[in-house]
Structure 1
Amino acid sequence: MADLLLGQTLAFDGNPMTDGPGVARHDRTGAILIRDGRIADMGDGDTLRQRHPQARVTDYGRALISAGFVDAHAHYPQTAIIASWGKRLIDWLNSYTFPEEMRFSDPAYAADIATRYFDLTLANGTTTVCSYGTIHPESVDAYFTEAQRRGLCAFAGKTCMDRDTAPGGLRDSAQSAYDDSKRLLERWHGQDRLSYVITPRFSPTSTPEQLQALGALWAEHPDCLMQTHLSEQTDEIAWVKSLYPTARDYLDTYESHGLLGHGGLYGHAIHLEPREVDRLREVDASLIHCPTSNTFIGSGLFDMDGLTRAGHRVGLATDTGGGSSFSMLRTMAAAYEVAQLRHRALHPAELWWLATAGSARSLLADHRIGNLAAGMEADIAVIDLASTPAIAQRANRAGDIWEAIFPTIMMGDDRAIRAVWAGGREVTLSGRGPYKNPTL
């Protein structure tokens, strides 16, 4: 049976970052019809009721029906250490990240965290995530197994690190990184709604031999994405220069080993050299903005205005657990704040597009997720625009849809998520636990 969802609908006919907010399409009395996991029809609610009289109707009233959020860069193995205190990137990795990631050699632990992670992301309206695993193949198996069980569109890859800058318990080798990644790719890529992503963590934790091996694997499987980190912090860039003294710049450590191209996802990309900006645009790579992480760890301010004006693909991401929230609403708010510090006020249409269609575009998946349109996969978040008294009293004064949405962007959390649909099925949002309260 088909499902007919009624409420306010929001879709995009273009990119508001370049074409302006007018490309957003809002219908106060809209509807979407879901059949066989896809959006089969969309339009005015009364019209669709008459057109599809046998459909099962769910009326969400004044709630906003949107594409589900797309998180283009995350580390699901860091779920349990999110919001750990202080430190710069390198110290943070050594103090929190690496010790936690060592635990993922245990398949049971990896499965438990994967379950917890998807509980938390779905509760926040996120229907697609592109995540790093750990060096352990078990971490990728756990993630994809849980995503597949829930019918999710999901991207991930085994994180590869073979340089002695990583702890002994978290190092593979150039050959095992290639072999493990290829084996996982052959097992998971293209299964149901799953996509494998070739994943060197970043240049400081990989030898040139490992980067070369992963570049060769990407050349063999160009339909896969490749994800890594780039120019997150100034001391990280200095570290890269010391390890790769003949490289022209940070990007060159990837470029010279076959790891620069269309379908490359470069997380952070804050402190870019002019050559790097030009080459990334030339190959049509994707830059992934992680604003809560960038402010939490003190990395810097992403140049959203300059890079989008130059024509770069830009996605938006939580970067959990370096990022301090699982919520793409909070991530939109942080993106707005970071842009303000660079003297650019992002419009609510731009923010919402970045968290949905824009992030899908960065994953080369905007033909199937990230928007509401006939034929798209039915991943949907239903947003209560009056989820708390503070938000409601502001939204009640709204003169248009953007004034109604913006308070939820700036102050919303998982309480704003009224319902989630993934692959055409409604998700049970049970997942805010059970987790034990801390003993103080």
Structure 2
Amino acid sequence: MNNDTYIITGRVLHFIDEPDIAAENSYEYYKIGALVIEDGKIAYCGEAVEAIGRFPNYPIVDRHEKLIIPGMIDTHMHYPQTEITGAYGEQLLEWLETYTFPTERKFSDKAYESDVSERFISECLKNGTTTAMVFGTVHPESVDAFFEVSESYNMRNICGKVLMDRNAPDYLLDADLDTAKRQTEELIHRWHNKGRQLYAVTPRFTPTCTPEMMTIAKELMDTAPGLYLHSHLSENKGECAWVAELEPEAADYLDAYDRYGLVGPRSVFAHGIHLSEREYKRLAETGAAIAHSPTSNLFLGSGLWNKKACQDYGVRAGLASDVGAGTSFSQLQTLNEAYKIQQLQGQKLSAFQSFYFATLGSAKSIYLDDKIGNFEVGKEADFVIMDNAGTELMKYRQSHSHTLEEELFVLGTIGDDRSIAETYVMGVRVYDKERGAQRPAVELKAVV
């Protein structure tokens, strides 16, 4: 019997609907629960006694009273910016010039790219993130390096080479349109739908992409089914004003993408802070999504995302750390800042809404809820074992939590990587606190 066929027991929680829509029936929670894993997928989710009765010959991995949740999903990250996380003192456009562009210049070196990719993936797993949507750099090798490491852990990740041909240092611009298109086509052929890897066509943002480059991006989107479009939208007021100057014929910032056919299902735009009513409506009707990036929005002083407006208009939204302008790989800490942003606007973000946002909600925003996001039978078995006593403070505070909702709220405010005991990908343990990140093992003893 191999290491991805077994029963794992504990307190099992997952969401089946958005709490705002159907609060009473939005989640399933089994205090003495179990997941049955068969060949890396969910075969059963429910009461432990029933699981053991139905699958009597399967080995049991007992996690006692630890909470088991789906793997968390990060809908916008920059892996090349890992080394500048927490860099001081700039807003968006100055941040790019001062920190981002000089750092991304280093990514023409394959050994360097591979090292950063390994560190980045390890941090994701350490923080319970099992799927991420990730920017590479303009260098195609940066995407190869990322996918090679991602594939070695059997993660479901999305990445793409940055497209950029203006308003950036010459050393980071694509050599020409034909080269940018050819390199991207080669990456799509090499990686899209290879195992669990998925590709995103990635024009950095309107200020760094000419109309000709946007046209190339649309042509690339049409080369294979299921490709993503990954970019930025309305992060900073200065950026928005710049876009209006660069694209005077566009109705607004979103239209600067839309007029090239780049707004639709599987289009994911980070931030979306300063949006008009027309933009909200257009995002909703096209099925495009916003990647809410609370820690970077605060760190760069960009503004407060309006969750209520997105909900009212029906805009898809996912949760994002936006490392490295985002200040933590932890989606728990990202939820902490998301809660505060809602408080500042007189809005609420409940504990159940938060954990839905980090799991099934984010999966829906990137059209992967048929594969990940909860424990429905047949889905890929990406999950996390939580540690509510990761620090003395957490242990003490949780001893005074009297409901599941309170427990989750504490995890989403003072929790961080120390709240993650283990991370599993396709049913195989790839991280635990004692040994750190580990590539998938062969024997069952690796997970018990």
Asked if the contact 1:18/1:308 (under 8 Å) is kept, the reply is: no
Query: In the alignment, which residue of structure 1 is the partner of 2:322?
Result: 319
- Find 1:277's aligned residue among 280, 285, 288: 280
Letter in 1 for 2:154: G
The residue identity in structure 1 corresponding to 2:22 is D
Task: Encode CA deviations 1:237-260: one digit per residue, 9 max, x unaligned.
Answer: 011111112221111110111211
Residue 341 of structure 1: how far off its partner (Å): 0.9
Q: Identity over aligned residues, as a percent?
A: 40
1:49 partnered with 2:52: yes
| Alpha-carbon spacing, 1:431–1:176, altered in 2? closer, same or farther (3 Å) | farther
Q: Which residue of the partner structure matches residue 352 of structure 1? A: 355
1:428 CA displacement: 3.5
Structure-2 residue corresponding to 1:62: 65
Extract unaligned runs of 5+ from structure 1. Answer: 434-440
Alignment-mate amino acid for residue 362 of structure 1: S
Aligned partner of 2:390 among 372, 380, 387 = 387
Q: Distance in 2 between matches of 1:220 and 1:211?
A: 15
Q: Contact (CA 8 Å) 1:395, 1:405: kept in 2 or not?
A: no
- Structure 1 residue corresponding to 2:164, chosen from 145, 149, 161: 161
1:360-439 aligned at under 5 Å gives the runs 360-429=363-432, 430-431=435-436
- Structure 1 equivalent of residue 88 of structure 2: 85
Instruction: Write the distance in 2 (CA, Å) between the matches of 1:86 and 1:53.
Output: 59
The answer on 1:342 being equivalent to 2:328 is no
Question: Residue 244 of structure 2 corresponds to which residue in structure 1?
Answer: 241
The separation in 2 between residues aligned to 1:335 and 1:17, in whole angstroms, is 16
Question: What's the TM-score once normalised by structure 2's chain length?
Answer: 0.94
Using the TM superposition, give the Cα deviation of residue 76 of structure 1 relative to its aligned residue in structure 2, in angstroms.
Answer: 0.5
Partners of 1:345 and 1:250 in 2: CA distance: 28
Return the offset for 1:432. 8.1
What's the counterpart of residue 178 of structure 1?
Answer: 181
2:142 is paired with a residue whose SS is helix
Q: Hey, what's the Cα distance between the residues in 1 that align with 2:38 and 2:189?
A: 30
Query: Which letter maps to 1:167?
Result: P
Match of residue 143 from structure 1: 146
Distance 1:47 1:281 in 2: 42
* Corresponding position of 1:302: 305
The equivalent residue for 1:203 is 206
Deviations 1:107-154 (A, max 9, x none): 110000000001111000100111010000000000100010111111
Q: How far apart are the structure 2 equivalents of 1:419 and 1:14?
A: 25
Cα deviation, 1:5-56, whole Å, max 9, x if unaligned, reads: 1111111121113322541111111100111010111111122122222222
CA RMSD of superposed structures (Å): 1.3
> Can you give the 5+ residue segments of structure 2 that lack an aligned partner in the other structure?
439-448
Q: Count how many residue pairs are aligned between Structure 1 and Structure 2.
A: 432
Paired position in structure 2 for 1:220: 223
Deviation string for 1:363-396 (max 9, x for gaps)? Answer: 1001111111211100011111222222222222
Aligned partners of 2:79 and 2:136 also within 8 Å: yes
Q: 1:76 is matched with which residue?
A: 79
Change (3 A) 1:432 1:367: closer
Is the 1:21–1:347 Cα contact (8 Å) retained in structure 2?
no
Mapping 1:124-139, distance limit 5 Å: 124-139=127-142
Point out the more displaced range, 169-178 or 401-410.
Answer: 169-178
User: What is the match of residue 34 of structure 2?
Assistant: 31
TM-score of the superposed pair, with normalisation by structure 1: 0.96
In the TM superposition, 1:11-30 aligns within 5 A as 11-20=14-23, 22-30=25-33
Structure 1 Cα separation of the partners of residues 348 and 23 of structure 2? 13
SS at match of 2:222: helix
